[in-house]
Structure 1
Amino acid sequence: MVNVWNSKITLCSLSLLLLLTDCVCSLKCWHCIADDCENDPAGNYKAVKRNCEAGQFCQKIFFEMFSTTDNRKYKSTVRGCAWDCHDKNDFINCTRDMFSSRGCIEKSCCADKDLCNTASTQTGNTFTRVSMYVIFAIFIIVLNR
């Protein structure tokens, strides 16, 4: 009887440890600094999945400006990890002077799921966490029989 009780405690402890391990992992974000990062990173060989440091956000920055020097419009998109990230959208109030001098930026920040700085929605991290809760609940039900 003691061995069964010890194995139940061990099984519960391992299940709880797995559940907590999922919750404390660092955020994984797309990292892309290239000429075509505006494309969906899942299909872009220049974009890589990168683990951020604890406390960092995923960010996606779109930059656009018009150069009066060479009469050209420049665009750039960058994805990566960031500290203290805040959403920003200069395009709402982007004046002609702003657009032709320093350019306008749209920055989006997220930390609610892995790879959230992509073009499409991802639900992998949420699905994994819910799955672990279900597995843990099943273990508890089985052990209490």
Structure 2
Amino acid sequence: MTRKITLCLWFNGCAEEATALYAGLFPESRVIDVSRYGDGEHGAPGAARIVTMELFGQKITAINGGGEFALTPAMSLLISCETQAEVDRYWDGLAAGGKPMRCGWITDRFGVTWQIIPAQFKRLISDPNTGGRVMAAACEMTKVDIAALERAAQG
């Protein structure tokens, strides 16, 4: 079945560099196709126009559309992590030149905002007896520490 919805990210000249980073960082990820600008077109001849990639099997299109629009944290990609090692790997891979934010959010150097969140986070904050403590602990963190969240849940 053909997917009806594909996420499209708008970049200002760095789509190919960004997709190469993502495809190298995340398993089950790859650059599928790169279409390039020709002579006399909007972009520099030979520069990437549209890059199609898969991240964790999800198709994403990256467009070098220019500086007219910018990515914002109002749209983010959430990566669900099973272990602290996985949290660390993705966080560290996106941190170089990026902007860490609270509660596991980070905007990478290309302007894409990510949530690097443990899979157990939803369960921990959903408990009516302990969820408030867990959320308060998470809001004090930049990169999420799973053990600290579990300690907060235990009181």
Q: TM-score range by the shorter chain?
A: under 0.3
The structure with the largest alpha-carbon Rg is 1
TM-score, normalised via structure 1 length: 0.24
TM-score, normalised via structure 2 length: 0.23
Greater relative CO, 1 or 2 (CA 8 Å, sep 6+): 1
